[in-house]
Homo-oligomer: A and B are copies of this chain.
Amino acid sequence: MPPVNQRVLREHHLALVLRHVASQPGPVSRADLGAATGLTRATVSGIVDELTAGGLLSEVDPLPRNGAGRPATGLALATTGPAGLGLEVNVDYLAAAVLDLTGATRVLCTRHRDQRGRSPRRVLADLAKLAAQAAQQAADEGLTVAGTVVGVPGLVGGDGLVRSAPNLGWRDVDVAGALDAAGAGLGDLRVENEANLAALAELHAGTEAAPSFVYISGEIGVGAGIVLDGRLLRGARGYGGEIGHVTIRPDGPSCRCGSRGCLETYTNLEVLLRDAGLPLSTEDVDDPVARLAAQAQAGHASTLAALAQAGTALGIAAADVVNLVDVDTVVLGGVYARLAPWLAAAVSQELHARTVTSAWAPVTVRAAVVGTHAAIVGGAGSVVRQILEAPATWLARTP
């Protein structure tokens, strides 16, 4: 029994010390660490040495003098060493980001191109190239990719297979296999729904301990990540959060999924552009969302009408989420974040009218704080979180 307890204790201490450093706004002294964790000076010293040797902590400039004595060396999360790589395939772009242990985005690469009609093999070969560029840029800054998460606008099975990404036209695509075949050599890799990753980014960006919200991600498709008490709700088979296919009107417009009247048919970016009189292909317009916002700002009637209709549909679907899983916040993400000034009122109105608890349990509607790159930030951030939460596992991997 004793060896097991020693191991468990060490793992616990490593995580405790690392978490304390991560939670502080500035560098932390060894003395502060002892006071905050209740560990002896000798234990703190041993743990700090191990974390420093493993590249997770670094010593920084001495802290300002606090009374007498010589200044203490400060400890902070390393800004070189292990990092997370987030990749994303979306309908009209590919993207990659590298985050260091502090959660700072150190590398960001995007390629705008309509991916529809292209074979998954070609799309993923391009993504492999982008990943290699991002990893190289990270290496130039002294960072090592510790793990990769790929976000896709579709349904990902427990086996990592993309079962369906209707807006890309994908069925049963082995993303990890295709990236490997393209020579990406990314090692530890996970595939995840893009809205789930964006919701994780929003979760990590906040200060609340265990928030509950639905993050609605608007792109060419519409998805959601539901966070309940600080945890992503994936559902029994991992396919939860498909708000884009919640029924708004049973006999509404046909949806790419084969059904009718899905939320997505009222609110996806292409519908908004069409109704606002803007070109349908997102390649013809440099930043179509900026154009939409500018027209709305200028009081363009059909743009305002399109956004109001989308807001109403989003509100109906959001009210379904609140009635069913009782979250207290609706986050407008993806392109909806920038359009929130023209969507939020209609969303709030429907939430107020349609949630049975609205009289005493109000729901907040707000724009996402993490920007357009939420999915890659969430993906890369989840790699970093994993290291911070279980540093012993990472240290065991390093020679």
* Residue ranges of A at the interface with B (Cβ–Cβ < 8 Å): 155, 157, 163-164, 166, 212, 224, 226, 228-229, 233-250, 257-260, 262, 312, 316, 319-321, 323-328, 353-357, 359-361
Contact = CB atoms under 8 A, between A and B. Distances in A.
B237 A326 contact: yes
Contacts of A320: 246-247, 320, 324
A226 B324 contact: yes
B323 A324 contact: no
B356 A240 contact: no
Contacts of A166: 356
A237 B355 contact: no
A110 B353 CA distance: 36
A24 to B, nearest CB: 28
Contacts of A237: 326, 328, 357, 361
A76 to B, nearest CB: 34
Contacts of A235: 212, 228, 324-327
A247 B316 contact: yes
Copies in the complex: 2
A77 B359 CA distance: 46
Contacts of A359: 164
18 contacts: A157-B360, A212-B236, A226-B324, A228-B235, A233-B325, A238-B326, A239-B361, A242-B323, A242-B324, A242-B356, A243-B323, A243-B324, A245-B323, A247-B354, A249-B249, A250-B312, A259-B353, A320-B324
Q: Which residue, of A319, A321, A325, has the highest number of chain B Cβ atoms within 10 A?
A: A325
A263 to B, nearest CB: 10
A228 B236 contact: yes
Nearest to A212: B236
A250 B248 contact: yes
The CB with the most chain B CB atoms within 10 A, among A242, A243, A312, A316, is that of A242
A357 B327 contact: no
Residue of A155, A224, A244, A312 most packed against chain B (CB within 10 A) = A155
B319 A241 contact: no
A240 B237 CA distance: 20
A167 to B, nearest CB: 11
Contacts of A248: 247, 250
Contact of A163 (B238, B241, B246, B357): B357
A386 to B, nearest CB: 21
Given A237-B326, A242-B324, 16 more contacts: A163-B357, A164-B357, A226-B324, A226-B325, A229-B236, A235-B326, A239-B357, A240-B324, A240-B325, A242-B323, A242-B357, A245-B323, A245-B354, A250-B312, A259-B354, A260-B353
A360 B161 CA distance: 12
A238 B246 CA distance: 22
A379 to B, nearest CB: 21
Given A228-B235, A236-B228, A356 B164 contact: yes
Most chain B C-beta atoms within 10 Å of own C-beta, residue among A228, A233, A235, A353: A235
Q: Which 7 A-B pairs have the closest CB atoms?
A: A235-B326, A212-B236, A242-B323, A240-B326, A245-B356, A239-B326, A259-B354
Contact of A247 (B155, B157, B260, B319): B319
